[in-house]
Amino acid sequence: QVHLVESGGGTVQAGGSLGLSCSASGNGYPPYSMAWVRQAPGKGREDVASIDYDGSASYADSVQGRFTISRDNAKRILYLQMNTLKPEDTGMYYCASHRTAGGSWAYWGQGTQVTVSS
């Protein structure tokens, strides 16, 4: 059982930056991957970035070079640094963990809203 809580969402103008964090609690074992997943208005959920326990990261093409995912395993915190934000980055951002066989995630946070104004 893993409990995930996001923070750091807000409103920013296009071109700006925003940092998100996710605190994990519970007894997650064995070591697990984590991700930031977003859902834009009227769109399905999209894996923005994922990271394994050792720090290997993957990014959606749309955010490559602009977003950076990282984690502090000792503190059990997941981060997403978002730079050069675009209006199309607007959406609800969820912290997730434990990839499932179906390509989704087993545990989810409550989400934090990110709004990028044009």
User: Is 8 exposed, middle or buried (CB count within 10 Å of its CB: 0-12, 13-18, 19+)?
Assistant: middle
Kindly give the parts of the chain with pLDDT less than 50: none
> What pLDDT, on a 0 to 100 scale, did the predictor assign at position 29?
65
> What pLDDT, on a 0 to 100 scale, did the predictor assign at position 51?
97
> What pLDDT, on a 0 to 100 scale, did the predictor assign at position 92?
98
The answer to whether the bond into 41 is cis (omega within 30° of 0) is: no
> What pLDDT, on a 0 to 100 scale, did the predictor assign at position 31?
79
* The total number of residues written for the chain in this structure: 118
Neighbours of 48 (CB within 10 A): 23
> What pLDDT, on a 0 to 100 scale, did the predictor assign at position 1?
87
